[in-house]
Chain A
Amino acid sequence: MSEKRSIQSLGATIAASALILGAPIAAHSASDGPELKHTTVLSDLENPWDMAFLSDGAMLFTEKCKGLSIRLPNGNVNHLLGMNGTEGYASTADDLVCAGQAGMNGVAVDPDFAENRTIYVYSASTISDLRTNRVLRLKLNEELTDVSGRTDIVKDIPYKQEATDHPFGDSGAHNGGRIRFNPDDGYLYVTTGDNHNSQLPQSGGSLGGKVLRIDADGKGAPDNADATPEGFDPRIYTYGHRNVQGITFHPETGQPYVTEHGPWHSDEVNALVAGGNSGWDPRPNMAGRGDCPDNYCGYMPNQNEGMDPDERRKFMPITDTATYPDAMKPVWGNNGLSQGISSGVFLTGEQWGDWNGQLAVSFLGIGFGGTPVGQRINLLDLSEDGASVRNVVEMPVPTGAMRYRSLVQAPNGDLYAAVDEGQIYRIQPQ
């Protein structure tokens, strides 16, 4: 199944969005991009969360509460590693569980896969006394039918154990979960979340609210510790994050770029530097704030009612440069709105025309307190130094508005998008 959507209709959509926003027009013209078509490659999935490609186009994919599967180039699907309570998988791991935003999240392929057949997944697990998120290293067999040799290379990424009095306050919340190898340095980057625990983001002893940079055995990259404050866990690359669900690497410089969910305001794209502090610190009784529900100020001053996002930003900034003057400044802040920024990937290849080299970012959409829902994919044209955004357009996504969870580029340059509704789409320039 495939269909096209005209650029003209996008223009109308953008104009309407801009009117609703009553804010500076975020998206200009998409006319410089290619016309797109899309194909539904998988449907009826349960919360597909991430994808990773082998060089021949075979696609590993995760479903949050089911497990890891692979779609072969001929379209057949093999179910590899199932979670607790699943059936029909070649292997099952009863310790792998899901709740709320947690479950089986990211998947990555080792850069030396052709030699070592190694892949990685990020999943919640019950092995430890308290649930944690783990990064599992697995071997994929030659037939692409099963995995073996599980080694948990990271075992102690915090997981939210119990519900709290916050929006999205169930257990498993703010769970991060994207994992990607940086082609530039060969390390595995792991994004985590703050679990609605205000102590985690600025704590050097916890892996929550961080981006980790590790090797294939789970050891920190040697220069992490040179860049982070004294006493930090050596696996930490950057800290002071809220809930990072997207990471990608600049195609020319290799610099990591993350997408970070905003606190009822200001979704962010951040360009990371080793040892950087992203400036998130939702602890009560600091920076002018008093007590907060369950000791977490992350949605205050008024967590259950709509209010001007700019007023929220002043009270509880996602990047607190007053408290942390050296914090990494965001490359982009979604015009001060929080709409569920979920994933990012640099598009590369001449088939993408003027979008070649631009950063595609996806949104789940959150309609709260007068903020437009905003389900979409944006293309960010970065400045020469990569520190700011020159222009933003909305991709005229031929799939229509969806809860876009993951964007991944296939080896041939096609863009794949997973949506919470249960589909994975291939999006191609015409």
Chain B
Amino acid sequence: MKTPILWAVAAVLAIGMSHAQAADESAGETLYSSNCAQCHGPKAKGMASFPSLAGRDAEYLSSRLEQYRAGEKVGANSGLMIPNAKNLSDDDIANLAAYISSNFQ
């Protein structure tokens, strides 16, 4: 009777993985408030020469943050974004992207 046990193990692993991959918007909100809002604004609509993030989907936001984290220049404010993204983890990026894309249209 190994099969049911294997299925159960597989199910537990799958649930665990999906939880690990689900973005934590609350953590994203905390990060956004402390690290992003000062330039992109409390509603992510952009301020001064800092661009709006409102309406961007999570994939776009993650992709940009990953590029900045890798030190790639994307646009005129790369010099500001690269150091800001440098220490973000994959989870941080997922959480930020989820929070911004879900809350600012």
Could you tell me if B79 and A101 are in contact, using CB atoms closer than 8 angstroms? no
Q: Interface size of B by Cβ–Cβ distance < 8 Å?
A: 14
The CA of A420 and the CA of B79, in the complex, are separated in Å by: 21
Q: In the complex, which of the residues A304, A305, A306, A420 contacts B48, with contact meaning CB atoms closer than 8 Å? A: A420
The interface residues of chain B lying within 8 Å CB-to-CB of A365 are: 38
Can you give 9 contacting A-B residue pairs, CB < 8 Å? Answer: A47-B47, A167-B76, A169-B76, A172-B49, A304-B82, A364-B48, A405-B48, A420-B41, A421-B41
Beyond A375-B38, A403-B38, A421-B42, whether A368 also contacts B48 by CB under 8 A is: no
Could you tell me if B76 and A168 are in contact, using CB atoms closer than 8 angstroms? yes
The CA of A173 and the CA of B75, in the complex, are separated in Å by: 14
Taking A168-B49, A304-B78, A369-B83 as known contacts, 6 extra A-B pairs with beta carbons closer than 8 A to each other, sorted by chain A number, are: A47-B48, A100-B49, A101-B49, A170-B49, A172-B49, A364-B48
The CA of A216 and the CA of B80, in the complex, are separated in Å by: 40
Interface status of A367 (Cβ within 8 A of chain B): yes
The CA of A407 and the CA of B82, in the complex, are separated in Å by: 32
With both chains docked as a complex, state the minimum distance between the C-beta of A137 and any C-beta of chain B, in angstroms. 27
Interface status of B77 (Cβ within 8 A of chain A): yes
Interface status of A373 (Cβ within 8 A of chain B): yes
Give the tally of cross-chain contacts (CB within 8 A): 54
Interface residues of B in 57-92 (CB under 8 A from A): 75-80, 82-83
With both chains docked as a complex, state the minimum distance between the C-beta of A363 and any C-beta of chain B, in angstroms. 11
Interface status of A163 (Cβ within 8 A of chain B): yes
Interface status of A303 (Cβ within 8 A of chain B): yes
Could you tell me if B47 and A101 are in contact, using CB atoms closer than 8 angstroms? no
Q: Which of B48, B75, B78, B82 neighbours the largest number of chain A CB atoms within 10 Å of its CB?
A: B48
The CA of A196 and the CA of B27, in the complex, are separated in Å by: 38
With both chains docked as a complex, state the minimum distance between the C-beta of A215 and any C-beta of chain B, in angstroms. 31
The interface residues of chain B lying within 8 Å CB-to-CB of A364 are: 48
Could you tell me if B41 and A167 are in contact, using CB atoms closer than 8 angstroms? no
The interface residues of chain A lying within 8 Å CB-to-CB of B78 are: 304
Residues on A lying within 8 angstroms of B by beta carbon are 47, 64, 100-101, 163-164, 166-170, 172-173, 299, 303-306, 364-365, 367-369, 373, 375, 401, 403, 405, 420-422
The CA of A401 and the CA of B37, in the complex, are separated in Å by: 11
With both chains docked as a complex, state the minimum distance between the C-beta of B11 and any C-beta of chain A, in angstroms. 45
Q: In the complex, which of the residues B47, B77, B79, B82 contacts A403, with contact meaning CB atoms closer than 8 Å? A: B47
The interface residues of chain B lying within 8 Å CB-to-CB of A368 are: 79-80, 83
The CA of A167 and the CA of B76, in the complex, are separated in Å by: 6
The interface residues of chain B lying within 8 Å CB-to-CB of A306 are: 83
The CA of A100 and the CA of B75, in the complex, are separated in Å by: 12
The CA of A183 and the CA of B74, in the complex, are separated in Å by: 46
The CA of A299 and the CA of B77, in the complex, are separated in Å by: 13
Could you tell me if B38 and A367 are in contact, using CB atoms closer than 8 angstroms? yes
Q: In the complex, which of the residues B42, B47, B76, B82 contacts A170, with contact meaning CB atoms closer than 8 Å? A: B76
The interface residues of chain B lying within 8 Å CB-to-CB of A305 are: 83
Could you tell me if B80 and A373 are in contact, using CB atoms closer than 8 angstroms? no
The interface residues of chain B lying within 8 Å CB-to-CB of A304 are: 78-79, 82
With both chains docked as a complex, state the minimum distance between the C-beta of A422 and any C-beta of chain B, in angstroms. 8
The CA of A100 and the CA of B47, in the complex, are separated in Å by: 9
The CA of A64 and the CA of B47, in the complex, are separated in Å by: 10
Could you tell me if A303 and B47 are in contact, using CB atoms closer than 8 angstroms? no
B49 closest partner in A (C-beta):
A100
Could you tell me if A420 and B47 are in contact, using CB atoms closer than 8 angstroms? yes
Beyond A403-B47, A403-B48, whether A373 also contacts B38 by CB under 8 A is: yes
The CA of A420 and the CA of B39, in the complex, are separated in Å by: 9
The interface residues of chain A lying within 8 Å CB-to-CB of B48 are: 47, 64, 101, 364, 403, 405, 420
The interface residues of chain B lying within 8 Å CB-to-CB of A169 are: 76-77
With both chains docked as a complex, state the minimum distance between the C-beta of B69 and any C-beta of chain A, in angstroms. 14
The CA of A71 and the CA of B41, in the complex, are separated in Å by: 24
Interface residues of B in 5-54 (CB under 8 A from A): 38, 41-42, 47-49
The interface residues of chain B lying within 8 Å CB-to-CB of A403 are: 38, 47-48
The CA of A370 and the CA of B29, in the complex, are separated in Å by: 23
The CA of A170 and the CA of B76, in the complex, are separated in Å by: 6
The interface residues of chain A lying within 8 Å CB-to-CB of B75 are: 170
Could you tell me if B77 and A168 are in contact, using CB atoms closer than 8 angstroms? yes
The interface residues of chain B lying within 8 Å CB-to-CB of A420 are: 41, 47-48
A99 closest partner in B (C-beta):
B49
The CA of A304 and the CA of B83, in the complex, are separated in Å by: 8
